[in-house]
Each structure stands twice: as C-alpha cells, then as structure tokens.
Amino acid sequence: MASRDDIMIEITPQVLLKAYSCGIFPMAESAFDPALYWIEPQHRGILPLDQVHVPRRLRRTIRNAEFEVRIDSEFDRVIDGCAASRPGRRSTWINSRIRQLYRELFELGHCHTVEVWDGSRLLGGLYGVALGGAFFGESMFSVERDVSKIGLVHLCGRLIAGNFVLLDTQFVTDHLRQFGTVEVDREEFQSRLEDALKIPTDFHRLPSDASPEEILAQICPRETSD
C-alpha cells in the first residue's frame, strides 16, 4: 500500500521516525519528483539476525580481502552511490527530500552507514535507520564483486553485537535471500516491530574498526575457522 504525501506538509526527522515505528517508510517516484510516497507493503522482507547465513566462500573473502570497512564516516558519498544509475536501473527513488531527511537523521544518530573502502576509493556501502531494536535497511550499492555482501555481513555482525533483533530489508531479492532473508506478512512484521522497539541497543558496541573475525564471530561463532 502506498500513499502520496502532500508536498505542502513538512516531513521532519521526527515525523519520519514515527512513520518507521508504525512500519511505514518513504520513497520517491524518481530523483526529480519532489513528492514522497509512504510505503507499507503487505509482505515485508526481514533477515532474522539469529539465522544469518554467510556462505563459506564469502567468509574467506571477508577474512582475506584487503578492504577497509568504516562506519558512519561518509554519509553523503554512500547515498550518492546508492542513488547512482547502474546497469538495469537508469533512475533512482532517492530524491533531494530523501537526501535531506536522512542526512538529518544521520546527524541525530538514527541513520548509519557501513562503507567498504580501498584506500580513498569507496567501493560500496549501505545505509539505514536504527530505532530501538530494529534496523531498517534502506539501500546499498557496490562497484566491485562481493562488496555489498561484505557490507551486509558487517552490518549483521554489528547489529547482533548491539542487541538488535529485527533487520528490515523491506523487500526480498535474490541477493538478500542467500543470507536467509524471508518474507512475512504485515501483521507479523508489525508484531515483531512492536517488540523490537522496546529493546535498548548500541549500534557502536563493536569498535568502528572491528576485524573480520570479530564480525564473523557474532554471526557464526562455530564456523569462524572455516
């Protein structure tokens, strides 16, 4: 279900957080459309944090890759990457209002980025919103193979360490399904969300320079030596 907002109504970060607490999130029709649509899917993608699957090959890649993972260091560059055109997608739903609203959430400490770097080159990343024990994944991008997967695994490890219990992926894709993402109906999502919002969490419980082994130990402690 989607509804178009009134362009004259001001959407503040506080209004946005309230919408998230009700299971609603905004999207734009295109980067050039100033309006936002409020989205409340009948079916919702979630990645159960107690059942995250990291393929063995990817675990080896995460351990051996000479990438640097940073947290919350370059919000604007991450959202630029998420909004950029790419093969199979010439337009984006990230308009100027989305950029401004999530920048304000970032400054308030509710929006976070996970970034994968090679020196000064940003290879990929993701951003999303933290509220109570829920993290709402918004968008991700990568310019090299496996980079977005590395970012997602680092996000999951950080959420688990920080006592989060709900990772909302909004929709289910083949990319997300391989990590264990499942689809639930609106009623189940609302129930999970209501419980998650009551939980105190710390997105920064792990240090910003947490090692691959620290991350993997949060997700699959019995398999970190594979």
Relative to beta strand 111-118, strand 121-131 is antiparallel
Overall size of the chain counted in residues: 226
Residue-wise pLDDT tens digits, 66-125: 899 999 999 999 999 999 876 655 557 899 999 999 999 999 999 999 999 999 999 999
Q: Where do the domains of the chain lie?
A: 42-219
Query: Residue 6: what pLDDT?
Result: 45
Strands (E), 68-212: 68-71, 111-118, 121-131, 134-142, 166-170, 182-185
The CATH number of 42-219 is: 3.40.630.70
Instruction: Tell me what the pLDDT averaged over the chain comes to.
Output: 91
Nearest CA to 83 out of 117, 119, 120, 126 is that of 126
In 3D, which of 152, 154, 186, 155 has the Cα closest to residue 170? 186
> Tell me: the pLDDT tens digits for 115-169?
999 999 999 999 999 999 999 999 999 999 999 999 999 999 999 999 999 999 9
For residues 172-186, give the mean pLDDT: 95
Q: Which of 58-72, 78-92, 196-210 has the lowest mean pLDDT?
A: 78-92
pTM above 0.85, yes or no: yes
Bridge-based pairing state of the strands 166-170 and 134-142: parallel
CA distances from residue 181 to 27, 39, 79, 201, 218 in whole angstroms, order as listed = 21, 19, 23, 22, 18
Q: What's the token pair of residue 29?
A: 């029709």
Transcribe 39-53 into DSSP letters.
E--SEEEE--TTS--
Instruction: Tell me how far the alpha carbon of residue 127 is from its chain's centroid.
Output: 5
